[in-house]
Amino acid sequence: MPFSFPRYLLAKQTVDDRALNRHVYETLLSHVPSETIDIIEVGAGIGTMAARLLRWGSVTRANYLVVDSMQENIDFARTWLPQWAGENRLRWERIEENHLRLFDDTRDLNLIFVCADVFGFIQASPPKADLLVAHAFLDLLPMPESLSKLFSLVKSDGLAWLTLNFDGVTSLEPIIDPVLDTLIERLYHQTMDERPTGGDSQSGRHLFNYLKDAGAEILAAGSSDWVVYPENGKYPADEAYFLHFILHFFEQSLTGHPELEPKAFADWLKERRAQIDRGELTYIAHQMDFLVQRSLLKSV
């Protein structure tokens, strides 16, 4: 099966829709100003969160910086978002190559696409935002030192919505081999902790203290677990592809690992893929969402 990261990001939209913590989201809505706001999303991928905020009616007027380090994602976003707008009864206009406007009679979103490493973007000192979004991203960064840099992007009274932070639990059912399943899960989490670029397989729980140490008051927090399971032997939307991509992550991370017997791991992957094809696999990943207000943070 060919693997496309933008397609994976598209496929996980429905998974994320279910996962996002509604208490945290509703607290965000109660704090977002009614006037035009400035939003920065780091690690924004192909712009699915911007589309979601429009689709859910979360914001009506905003200037939205879409920041991602992968040119492939930025290129896909510039093509996909106009298509998505047309399918959702929104008008659109391309003002410049990296500037797109999505709008109708009640909503108006100006999107600026920036291909940049997040820390290089921060060093460029962009205008500060009313809302910082980091979606399924913080657990990829060195912590806790990244927090003060990220919060420097936010106005003194602004918000940071930090979503889908992985928190140390991966479950694949049905069990194939209890010992092998446990070993693969442990080693997979270990690769997250050992990334040279940073990362933490328990970032969700650790963020409570990291945010506190940064001087932050957490306005809301809650679990945002991915739960993907078949209904009548089929997965909704494109979630079978999402599951195949999760197994692709396992394969990339663990192939050649000295603690894994190669044939046993290859057979395990083959059976897990067959479970998806048969509509049998259930996948759960435990994650945490947070909403923080910048005015309550130490100066950075």
Q: Which two tokens stand for residue 188?
A: 């997979």
Cα(228)–Cα(236) distance, rounded to whole angstroms?
9
pLDDT of residue 295: 58
246-275 confidence digits (pLDDT tens): 999 999 999 999 999 999 999 999 999 999
CATH topology of domain 5-296: Rossmann fold (3.40.50)
80-137 confidence digits (pLDDT tens): 999 999 999 999 999 999 999 999 999 999 999 999 999 999 999 999 999 999 999 9
The residue ranges of every structural domain in the chain are 5-296
Task: Kindly give the residue spans of alpha helices, DSSP state H, lying in the chain.
Answer: 5-11, 13-19, 22-31, 48-55, 71-87, 118-123, 145-151, 178-193, 203-213, 239-254, 262-277
Q: Which two tokens stand for residue 281?
A: 């696999």
138-173 confidence digits (pLDDT tens): 999 999 999 999 999 999 889 999 999 999 999 999
pLDDT at 299 over 80: no
164-173 confidence digits (pLDDT tens): 999 999 999 9
Cα(152)–Cα(121) distance, rounded to whole angstroms?
11
Which whole number is the average pLDDT over 187-207?
95
Q: What is the pTM of this model?
A: 0.94
Q: What does the DSSP 8-state code read for residue 231?
A: B
